[in-house]
Amino acid sequence: MSVVDRQEWDVVVVGAGGAGLRAAIEARERGARTAVICKSLFGKAHTVMAEGGIAAAMANANEHDNWQVHFRDTMRGGKFLNQWRMAELHAREAPDRVWELETWGALFDRTKDGRISQRNFGGHEYPRLAHVGDRTGLELIRTLQQKIVALQQEDKKETGDYESRLKVYQECTVTRILKASDSGSAAGGSRVSGVFAYDRETGRFFVLEAPSVVVATGGIGKSFKVTSNSWEYTGDGHALALLAGAPLLNMEFVQFHPTGMVWPPSVKGILVTESVRGDGGVLRNSEGKRFMFDYIPDVFKEKYAESEEEGDRWYEDPDNNRRPPELLPRDEVARAINSEVKAGRGSPHGGVFLDVSTRMPAEVIRRRLPSMYHQFKELADVDITAEAMEVGPTCHYVMGGIAVESDTAAARGVPGLYAAGEVAGGMHGSNRLGGNSLSDLLVFGRRAGWHAAEYAAARAFERPEVSDLEVDTAAAEALRPFSAEGPVGGEEDGRPPENPYTLHQELQQTMNDLVGIIRREGEMEQALEKLAELRVRARRAGVEGHRQFNPGWHLALDLRNMLLVSECVARAALERTESRGGHTREDHPTMDRKWRNINLLCRLADPTGGLAATDPERGQIDLVRETTDPVRPDLLALFDKEELVKYLAEEELYQ
Ligand code: FAD
């Protein structure tokens, strides 16, 4: 019989980044008693690191902008693989979500006439990113936290308790989504009943029971060696959803941001914001050439400047000139940098040069890019007002994610489960445009909170039950690293346990080298073999000591998630025999229209939610192809026919 502490809520939100907080606010405002649980400190999430801004067609900097243009840019950026209804909702609703933030206390930078200022970013036809210097995410999170505190103060007045309707559990990690035990089995039943979690400081286990769970856990970057992501982005939400029975969509699409720091080694991968290029920064190779002019792909030829002069004129007169190719979507720029370095025209530390020092006065650089100025000064002793930065691609964002219904953010196949933000798939297709994540978090965070609250309200009198058996199974799984020397798979084999840090390093190296920015069939097969080996070894990942703050134990638990997610990425990348957006195959270098309407869904091979314990060498993931819904005709009509011919499959064109 389980003695794990249990608490009852209507909605549990896993993750306190922009998506999670926006979902929690919405759920609470719609009357649901809501718990937010996050792995890091409250206020520390990827969202806080967002620099460049939030994309919304507010038309403040160019009156021609509107939701239709934003929708078009987003679809082009995603190479038409976007779940189009999500792209539509996002483009339509983003301006309202930005305004709403201001009504809650955010203060964006202003134009001279007092409107919210908007800056240029790659792939956006008009200046569209509302920003607060290069610290936009900080303002976003600060505002959402302030709103949460305001709601808690209201609750205190009414109920005498700040946390009666909205409570944050910080530094707590969820390891399983629980499901109502219709069958009484360890794997649970069909609908969500809550989450199993542990407190990272004390190691104490607890259960939050709820009919609705919103997953908003962000990305997967820590599966790769060079990444802009911080320690907590181990693909937990992706894995939790898979284990609960929900499919993941198009996991092959991982975004390698073109500009991460490359030197010194200790900071390799840290992001250099796209605002540097948006504000006029240029990329040069070791010969001093602005090489991006050589890398404009056919699909974008008409939209980008042919000469440096035209590109430079665009900053002053965008209506009569075309934008410079430094502002192509991220996948294009990352590939171009990779090619320059490979051709021997890289910078001394294996990147290329990004220069603002010759493009703007020093005081403007310090005002517009304060974080970048300090980042380079303090971490690399480089003064970006006087010299060029060295930059190269870094794993940044995952476009693939939990397959959701566009309007409701409901995860497919698991009643009561919702997903929003980076962990959800579909919105960005094969490549996300900069700035479109922050707006995605708010638009779909709100929708997830709204529908999760409605779902819970409809089940107020028939709350799903959490079974003791399921809780005990989750507890045993979490405790396994403490007994890794004991029986493995039922056999006493006497070998010493594996070190989780070693396993993590090998995993990161494998993903970086074999499933990275440029992919090849043979290498991905090798990666899958290595993942199988790591999976077997990870079952023996062992830690010493006890449950009180024990980072080795935390990592041992995170390994399950990273291995699952990495397998999804590798299997899907091997299957998709074309190059599109964030997925580049050297052996299939072009985009193939036949793949335009094909989604790849990853599901857990063991449908009971177990991890194929009897044969850990067998892959854990099954891959299924699915045809996408045809794009609605009025949305297709927003594009020229000539452009559609470049993207759509033959049969779609006829339809
Ligand atoms: P996050 O903000 O990543 O939050 C995830 C939350 O989940 C955290 O609270 C974490 O603790 C919690 N969590 C994770 N696992 C668990 C678990 N097992 N149990 C409990 N809690 C868990 N996008 C833009 O649009 N514009 C930008 O300018 C921009 N700049 C960026 C700069 C950097 C350096 C980075 C890394 C990203 C940037 N992005 C930007 C991308 C954007 O910031 C992220 O995609 C976005 O913030 C993700 O938000 P989220 O709410 O989905 O998740």
Helix, coil or strand: residue 118:
strand
- Tell me if 217 CB under 6 Å of ligand 1: yes
| pTM of the model as a whole | 0.93
Distance (angstroms) between ligand 1 centre and the Cα of 29 equals 23
Whether residue 488 has pLDDT greater than 50:
no
Q: What is the pLDDT of residues 44-61, one digit of tens each?
A: 999 999 988 999 999 999
Whether residue 184 has pLDDT greater than 70:
no
Distance (angstroms) between ligand 1 centre and the Cα of 142 equals 14
> What are the two backbone dihedrals, phi and then psi, of residue 426, each rounded to the nearest 5 degrees?
105, -45
Ligand 1, residue 438: give the atom nearest the CA: 25
Q: Quote the Cα angle for 83-407-105, to 5°.
A: 105
- Tell me if 38 CB under 6 Å of ligand 1: yes
Q: Quote the Cα angle for 640-596-393, to 5°.
A: 95
Distance (angstroms) between ligand 1 centre and the Cα of 395 equals 14
Give the span between the Cα atoms of 449 and 10, in whole angstroms.
11
Distance (angstroms) between ligand 1 centre and the Cα of 508 equals 19
User: Under 8 Å CB-to-CB from 172, ≥6 apart: which residues?
Assistant: 37, 38, 39, 197, 198, 199, 200, 206
The dihedral sign for the CA sequence 237, 241, 243, 249: negative
Fold classified for 257-395? Flavocytochrome C3; Chain A, domain 1 (3.90.700)
* Percent of the chain's residues with pLDDT above 90: 85
Residue 386 has which token pair? 């006087």
Nearest CA to ligand 1 atom 4: 17
Ligand 1, residue 21: give the atom nearest the CA: 51
Q: For a substitution probing ligand 1, which of 170, 233, 257, 438 has the most ligand atoms within 8 Å of its CB?
A: 438
- Tell me if 43 CB under 6 Å of ligand 1: no
Q: In which residue ranges of the chain is CATH 3.90.700.10 found?
A: 257-395
Tell me what pLDDT residue 344 has: 95
Nearest CA to ligand 1 atom 37: 50
Give the span between the Cα atoms of 317 and 245, in whole angstroms.
52
Burial class (CB in 10 A: 0-12, 13-18, 19+), 544: exposed
End-to-end CA distance of the chain: 59
Distance (angstroms) between ligand 1 centre and the Cα of 21 equals 11
Q: For a substitution probing ligand 1, which of 14, 178, 217 has the most ligand atoms within 8 Å of its CB?
A: 217
Nearest CA to ligand 1 atom 39: 50
Whether residue 490 has pLDDT greater than 50:
no
Q: What is the pLDDT of residues 492-509, one digit of tens each?
A: 466 789 999 999 999 999
Q: For a substitution probing ligand 1, which of 26, 36, 47, 375 has the most ligand atoms within 8 Å of its CB?
A: 47
Whether residue 187 has pLDDT greater than 60:
no
Distance (angstroms) between ligand 1 centre and the Cα of 19 equals 8
Q: Quote the Cα angle for 249-71-648, to 5°.
A: 65
Distance (angstroms) between ligand 1 centre and the Cα of 236 equals 12
Residue closest to 211 by CA, chosen among 421, 33, 15, 16? 33
Other residues' Cβ atoms within 10 Å of the Cβ of residue 41: 10
Whether residue 158 has pLDDT greater than 60:
yes
Q: Quote the Cα angle for 651-652-655, to 5°.
A: 90
- Given 330, 576, 580, 585, the catalytic residue: 330
- Tell me if 49 CB under 6 Å of ligand 1: yes
Which top CATH class is 5-52+134-254+397-466?
alpha beta
Q: What is the pLDDT of residues 17-34, one digit of tens each?
A: 999 999 999 999 999 999
Ligand 1, residue 436: give the atom nearest the CA: 25
Distance (angstroms) between ligand 1 centre and the Cα of 185 equals 34
- Tell me if 74 CB under 6 Å of ligand 1: no
Distance (angstroms) between ligand 1 centre and the Cα of 37 equals 14
Ligand 1, residue 561: give the atom nearest the CA: 18
Whether residue 491 has pLDDT greater than 80:
no
- Tell me if 425 CB under 6 Å of ligand 1: no
Q: For a substitution probing ligand 1, which of 25, 271, 437, 553 has the most ligand atoms within 8 Å of its CB?
A: 437
Distance (angstroms) between ligand 1 centre and the Cα of 609 equals 26
Mean pLDDT of the chain: 93
- Tell me if 18 CB under 6 Å of ligand 1: yes
Q: What is the pLDDT of residues 263-299, one digit of tens each?
A: 999 999 999 988 899 889 999 999 999 999 999 998 8
Q: Please, are residues 399 and 428 in contact by the beta-carbon 8 Å criterion? A: yes
Residue 427 has which token pair? 């919105």
Q: Please, are residues 284 and 388 in contact by the beta-carbon 8 Å criterion? A: yes
pLDDT band for 329, please (50, 70, 90 cuts): confident
Tell me what pLDDT residue 331 has: 87
Tell me what pLDDT residue 495 has: 79
Whether residue 486 has pLDDT greater than 70:
no
Ligand 1, residue 18: give the atom nearest the CA: 51
Nearest CA to ligand 1 atom 12: 15
Q: Quote the Cα angle for 473-194-604, to 5°.
A: 60
Give the span between the Cα atoms of 610 and 623, in whole angstroms.
17
- Tell me if 241 CB under 6 Å of ligand 1: no
Tell me what pLDDT residue 493 has: 62
Interval 621-647 mean pLDDT: 93
- Tell me if 207 CB under 6 Å of ligand 1: no
- Tell me if 40 CB under 6 Å of ligand 1: yes
- Tell me if 228 CB under 6 Å of ligand 1: yes
Question: Which residue stretches of 397-497 are H helix?
Answer: 436-458, 468-479
pLDDT band for 134, please (50, 70, 90 cuts): confident
Tell me what pLDDT residue 181 has: 65
- Tell me if 229 CB under 6 Å of ligand 1: yes
Q: Please, are residues 389 and 68 in contact by the beta-carbon 8 Å criterion? A: no
30 catalytic? Reply is no
- Tell me if 174 CB under 6 Å of ligand 1: yes
Tell me what pLDDT residue 2 has: 56
Place of tokens 């707590």: 172
- Tell me if 19 CB under 6 Å of ligand 1: yes
DSSP string, 120-161: --TT-SS--EE-STT-HHHHHHHHHHHHHHHHHHHHHHHHS-
Interval 329-333 mean pLDDT: 88
Whether residue 484 has pLDDT greater than 80:
no
Q: What Rg do the C-alpha atoms of the chain give, in angstroms? A: 24
- Tell me if 455 CB under 6 Å of ligand 1: no
- Tell me if 47 CB under 6 Å of ligand 1: yes
Ligand 1, residue 228: give the atom nearest the CA: 36
Q: What is the pLDDT of residues 379-392, one digit of tens each?
A: 999 999 999 999 99
Q: In which residue ranges of the chain is CATH 3.50.50.60 found?
A: 5-52+134-254+397-466
Q: What is the pLDDT of residues 581-599, one digit of tens each?
A: 999 999 999 999 999 999 9
Tell me if ipTM is over 0.95. yes
Tell me what pLDDT residue 404 has: 98
Q: What is the pLDDT of residues 65-76, one digit of tens each?
A: 999 999 999 999
Distance (angstroms) between ligand 1 centre and the Cα of 165 equals 25
- Tell me if 137 CB under 6 Å of ligand 1: yes
CA distances (Å), 637 to each of 83, 251, 289, 427, 428, in order? 17, 29, 39, 20, 20
Give the span between the Cα atoms of 4 and 431, in whole angstroms.
42
